[in-house]
Structure 1
Amino acid sequence: MRYCLALDLKDDPALIAEYERYHEKLWPEVEDSIRSAGIREMEIYRIGNRLFMIMETEETFSFEQKAAADAANPKVQEWETLMWRYQQALPLAKPGEKWLLMDRIFKL
């Protein structure tokens, strides 16, 4: 399965650069949590302060199971708290939402 998600960064060049540096060397515990959830590939793209994530997952992948596993993993929670220093919710996000799932509107 392929999922596409969006999120914004705070519009501050220094914070954006710092956020990108963290992603040059992802914490091993965070990478392990991504892979163990059934995510085979993940890419994040940026334009300005808008982020776009593409995830290729196993058929068994579940956002709910991933969220539960992340909530029980102290290192992932530490990462998420740190990343929130750089991130901001999209204007249409509900309270507590970060990455929002995008709808595909075209395929060639």
Structure 2
Amino acid sequence: MKRYGQIIGVKPGQIEAYERIHEEVWPEVLATIETCNIRNYTIFRHGTLLFAYFEYIGDDFAADMARMAADPKTQEWWQHTDPMQEPLVDRTEGEWWSVMREVFHTD
């Protein structure tokens, strides 16, 4: 299992809409998240920053993320959520959510 932390901005005028849409995430999107070996997926908000945490239990993260990106219902979900988000200006090329480096962990 590998832990991931990611960060992205949420547009100030979209905070309520972003939180509202996440009150009832579509079942198909949740099923795809599980099929792609993601567990314990959580999104936190602080001001206009969103922090996501999840655990990946698969063997090929790139392939699972490609599978998720190819899923039609997930693509439809992203059409709603992506316009609400503001990627960080210093993100790595090709990233939407900026991947964070794990600095410390204890169980």
TM-score bracket for the superposition, by shorter chain length: 0.7 to 0.9
Partner of 1:83: 81
Moved segments of 4+, more than 4 Å: none
Q: How many residues align?
A: 105
Classify the secondary structure of the residue corresponding to 2:33: helix
* RMSD after superposition: 1.7
Normalising by structure 1, report the TM-score.
0.86
Does the aligned pair in 1 maintain the 2:33–2:68 contact within 8 Å? no
Q: Does 1:3 align with 2:1?
A: no
- The aligned amino acid for 1:68 is A
Percent of pairs with identical residues: 35
Q: List runs of 5+ in structure 2 lacking aligned partners.
A: none
Q: Are the counterparts in 1 of residues 8 and 49 from structure 2 also a CA contact under 8 Å?
A: yes
Residues 74, 59 of structure 1: CA spacing in aligned structure 2 closer, same or farther, 3 A cutoff? closer
Going by fraction, where is helix more abundant, 1 or 2?
2
Contact 1:37 1:61 in 2 (8 A): no
Q: 2:4, 2:55 within 8 Å by CA — same for their partners in 1?
A: yes
Instruction: Pick the aligned partner of 2:91 from 90, 93, 99.
Output: 93
Shift of 1:74: 1.2
Q: How far apart, in 1, do the equivalents of 2:74 and 2:87 lie? A: 19
With normalisation by structure 2, the TM-score equals 0.87
Task: Determine the structure 1 residue equivalent to 2:32.
Answer: 33
